[in-house]
Amino acid sequence: MSTTRYYNNYWEGKPDSTGWLNKPDIFNESAFLELLSKIYPYINAPLLDAGAGSGDTTNALYRYLTQKKPKQKPDITAIDVSSKAIKLLKKKNPNIKTIIGDISNYNVPQNQFRTITAFQVVEHVLDTNKMFNFFNQHLQPKGYLIITTTDFNLLKQIIIAAFFWPKFFYPTNPHIRFYTRYTLESLAQQHGFRLVSYTWDGHYFHLMPKGQLAIFQKI
């Protein structure tokens, strides 16, 4: 099955997996607005939202920037491999420019964007080198790359291995890459980025991060 078909089924609610993570999470807007308050200093236009999905985060970002700068229309482009997802996005906000394409294998004008966001995306992409090359090629010099992804820390590894391994790693689940802070930063550095900010993205009872928020700058 092609990546495009897989994610068209995913966004149509026809999952190809009986494990976990086989359908989009319910969007938590309040948590996302808290995230936006952290990344706002690094958001510059034009901005590309990579792996935008059905547009919940892209639309929330658009509205957030509109509130911050009401006299300035946000210049946001969204890209996703799924035409079904892009169709849903356009219904939510027709003002957002869209591209149907795979961020690990798609050409847009280089050095076009000042910020690229990838919210819960990198864990879905098989070819990590092509993905980071894409980020580097399409960011302007000194531009920012903002990534959120699950945090695969030691405690979570132990809990999953002990109780949830069969479902978490079910062969057809959409999460196919898993990152620690070290591996995420290492890959980014290999592709011409430096880490400028790192923090948790949510938590479990303040004891363990749900995810990680990493902000990189193109060198």
Task: Kindly report, residue by residue over 165-202, the tens digit of the pLDDT.
Answer: 988 888 888 999 999 999 999 999 999 999 999 999 99
Residue 111 has pLDDT above 60, yes or no: yes
Average pLDDT over residues 115-142: 96
Q: How far apart are CA 4 and CA 27, in angstroms?
A: 22
Per the CATH hierarchy, to which homologous superfamily does domain 3-218 belong? Answer: Vaccinia Virus protein VP39 (3.40.50.150)
- Mean pLDDT in residue range 30-46: 96
> Cα(49)–Cα(102) distance, rounded to whole angstroms?
12
Stretch among 20-24, 60-64, 139-143 having the lowest mean pLDDT: 20-24
| Alpha-carbon distances, residue 193 vs 80, 133, 148 (angstroms) | 23, 11, 16
Structure confidence at residue 17 as a pLDDT band (50, 70, 90)? low
Contact present, 127 and 3 (Cβ < 8 Å): no
Query: What pLDDT score does 18 carry?
Result: 61
What number of residues does the chain have? 219
Give the single-character DSSP code of 25.
P
What is the chain's mean pLDDT, rounded?
Answer: 93
- Quick one: tokens of 93? 């906000």
Supply the pLDDT for residue 16. Answer: 64
Confidence of residue 118 (pLDDT cuts 50, 70, 90): very high
Q: By the 8 A CB rule, do 158 and 9 touch?
A: no
